[in-house]
Every structure is written in C-alpha cells, then in structure tokens.
A and B are shown apart, each in its own frame.
Chain A
Amino acid sequence: AQSVSQHNHHVILSEAASLELGCNYSYGGTVNLFWYVQYPGQHLQLLLKYFSGDPLVKGIKGFEAEFIKSKFSFNLRKPSVQWSDTAEYFCAVTAGNNDMRFGAGTRLTVKP
C-alpha cells in the first residue's frame, strides 16, 4: 500500500528564513500529489497540487513544491517565511483512486 513520509515533525524558523519541508512517498505508479495546510483553528486547505506537467508547482501564499520522480519526493518550499505561515503542513498522495494517504504532518513555528 502507498505511504507518505514527512521527516520533519516540528520545524522552528525565524521570519525571513527559507523553508523546505520534506515529503517522500512509496508508490511505483502514477500519482497525484498535494500539500495541505492547517492554520490554527481553521480548516485544512489546499496549498498546491501536482497531477502532471511541469514538476515545479506554484501554490498560494508564495509556496512551491517540486516533484522529483526519481526520488519519490514532493518537497515544499518557500524562500522567505512569515509569522502567519505558522501552521501544520500535510503532504498527501493519491494513485488516481479515492484513497488519499496523508503524511503525519509537520508543525511549522515561525518566530517574529
């Protein structure tokens, strides 16, 4: 069965620092990839998604992610974080079916 690994459980950064959150998945076929964010007290919402095409995907709020097929990775990046980026981030994968697998999540704390 497919699985998703997020290696960083809690990341603490200062404002303006660069961010990279790792996501690796285990599935050999075609996949759809997602990053979701959950701000404190809010719904899970989609940051960005990759289905096909350009492996560098741009999302909302200045986030981007790069799909590297050979590494089974879909890391999330942001060049300069803000205090308002404090949230929990989830990577998710589907293999074209209804079974979406989520990583354990990475809690990001940005210090002002």
Chain B
Amino acid sequence: SQTIHQWPATLVQPVGSPLSLECTVEGTSNPNLYWYRQAAGRGLQLLFYSVGIGQISSEVPQNLSASRPQDRQFILSSKKLLLSDSGFYLCAWSRGQGGDEQFFGPGTRLTVL
C-alpha cells in the first residue's frame, strides 16, 4: 500500500531564516506530487505540483520554491521566510492520470516569528 510522509510535523522559525520541508511517498512510482497551504476558512491553496523529476509547476508567485530531486521526493523551500509564510502545509500525491483522487500527508505546521 502507498504511504506519504511529511516532516517535520511542526516547525517554528524566525523571520529571514531558510526553510526546507520534505515529503516522500512510498509504494508507488511516477506519482504526481503537490504542495498545498491550508488556511483557516480558505480551504487549500495549491502552491506547486510536479509530474516528474525536475518538473515543477508554480501556481502562485510567492516567497517559496519547490524541487523534486527524486521520483518520490518533493521539497518545499524558502531562502528567507516571511511572517506571512506561517501556515499549515500539506503534501499530496496522485496517480499519473490528470484529475484523479489525491492522497494527503499529515501536514507541517509552520510558525514564523
């Protein structure tokens, strides 16, 4: 069966510090991978998605970037965090066909102080 992992689970970082959140998927190959930010009362906002190694699509211009160094690894990064980057970040995967069900990880709660 497939599983998706995210770490860390929680993170507190000062403004201006770098960020690296990691997501890995097990039990499948060539998944589509996604990063979302979940804000209270506003649902999930798609930040990035990837259909393959090194292929990243950005949905919203912002202070964040994503990379996919391996087939089942997706990383969300920032060089300098802003206060507004605080939030709950979710990673998800889906099978290769567009529009299919997405499976979500446990999320990372990021607080920028």
Residues of A within 8 A of B (CB): 4, 6, 9, 32, 34, 36, 43-46, 49, 90, 92, 94-105
Contact = CB atoms under 8 A, between A and B. Distances in A.
A102 B43 contact: yes
B92 to A, nearest CB: 8
Contact of A46 (B42, B43, B101): B101
Contacts of B98: 94, 96-98
Interface of B: 32, 34, 41-46, 49, 51, 57, 59, 90, 92, 94, 98-107
A66 B10 CA distance: 37
Nearest to B40: A105
Given A32-B99, A95-B99, A98-B99, A43 B44 contact: no
B99 A94 contact: yes
21 contacts: A6-B43, A32-B99, A43-B106, A43-B107, A44-B90, A45-B104, A46-B103, A94-B100, A96-B98, A96-B99, A97-B98, A98-B49, A98-B94, A98-B98, A99-B46, A100-B34, A100-B99, A100-B102, A101-B46, A102-B45, A103-B43
A102 to B, nearest CB: 4
B49 A49 contact: no
Contact of B101 (A49, A90, A102, A105): A49
B43 A104 contact: yes
Contact of B105 (A32, A43, A98): A43
- The residue among A97, A101, A103, A105 with the most chain B CB atoms within 10 A of its own CB is A105
B41 A105 contact: yes
Nearest to A91: B43
